[in-house]
């Protein structure tokens, strides 16, 4: 169970909807990630970025649902954790703060209602799911 009531779920959900209206939201995110953590660039050398765009959008949706306390999504977050764990993609937990920073920078570019509080809201809502993913590593 999550402490769902204290998290700004709806604020982030509506911001995410505004971001998804921008075609280049995920593209912007990957540019920010490659800039903040250059070692991640080559990891996507053979990735079909069109498919990845849709997969990451739904991944974000799952992180939001997890923060909202929807128990049904735990399995999907665990699965994502396993996909990224040391036996599979081998993404070390130290890289995840760059992922979050890159996401907040992408939101800053894509959501015209962005302000510092909204950035904090995104960080707070993404964190529980990311914690579970990195715990699995």
List residues binding ligand HEM (CB under 6 A): 40, 43-44, 46-47, 52, 55-56, 59-60, 63, 80, 83-84, 89, 91, 95-96, 98-99, 130, 133
Burial grade of 16 (CB within 10 A; 0-12, 13-18, 19 or more): buried
List b or e across 67-81, with b for residues whose CB sees 16 or more CB atoms inside 10 angstroms. Answer: bbeeeebeebbeebb
Q: How far is the CB of 17 from ligand HEM (least distance, A)?
A: 17
**Tokens at 112, concatenated:** 């015209």
Give the end-to-end CA distance of the chain in Å, rounded to a whole number.
21
Nearer to ligand HEM among residue 44 and residue 113 (C-beta): 44
Nearer to ligand HEM among residue 6 and residue 42 (C-beta): 42
Nearer to ligand HEM among residue 118 and residue 126 (C-beta): 126
Q: How far is the CB of 94 from ligand HEM (least distance, A)?
A: 9
């Amino acid at each position: 169970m999550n402490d769902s009531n204290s998290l700004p779920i709806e604020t982030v959900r509506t911001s995410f909807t505004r971001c998804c209206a921008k075609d280049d939201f995920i593209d912007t995110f990957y540019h920010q990630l490659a800039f903040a953590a250059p070692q991640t660039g080559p990891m996507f050398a053979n990735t079909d970025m069109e498919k990845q765009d849709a997969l990451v959008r739904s991944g974000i949706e799952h992180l939001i649902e997890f923060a909202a306390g929807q128990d049904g999504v735990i399995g999907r977050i665990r699965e994502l954790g396993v996909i990224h764990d040391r036996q599979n993609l081998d993404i070390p937990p130290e890289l995840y703060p760059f992922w979050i920073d890159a996401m907040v920078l992408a939101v800053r570019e894509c959501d015209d209602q962005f302000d510092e509080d909204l950035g904090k809201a995104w960080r707070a809502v993404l964190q529980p799911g990311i914690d579970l993913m990195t715990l699995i590593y």
